[in-house]
Amino acid sequence: MADTLQVEVAYAEPKRQKIIRIIANEGITAEQAASRSGIVRFFPGLDLTDAEYGIFSQPCEPDTVLRDGDRVEIYRPLIADPKEMRRQRANR
């Protein structure tokens, strides 16, 4: 039997967030953990195949193999470039 590990999958929208803990076999990837967590049940518009991922705020590839205790974060696309927003505020 393969060794298991415990990881969390997190996703947030402006007004709500969800963190789901799962137990998985060693060798699971960030994208596989997100899929297995069932987080799309809570966020039906979430597309895991096109999502950006991170582990504890560090960007990672969807095929990154996880370690015990990792928190996979699913990132939403930015609606505005932060640098451009700062530039516009400074001009005002």
Please state which CATH number belongs to domain 4-91.
3.10.20.90
CA distance 24 to 70: 12
**Tokens standing for 91?**
């001009």
Q: What is the CA 70 to chain-centroid distance, rounded?
A: 11
User: Is residue 8 pLDDT above 90, yes or no?
Assistant: yes
CA distance 73 to 12: 9
More confident residue, 70 or 85: 70
- Domains of the chain by residue range: 4-91
List pLDDT tens digits, range 16-65: 999 999 999 999 999 999 999 999 999 998 999 889 999 999 999 999 99
CA distance 24 to 29: 10
∠ CA 41-9-55, rounded to 5°: 145
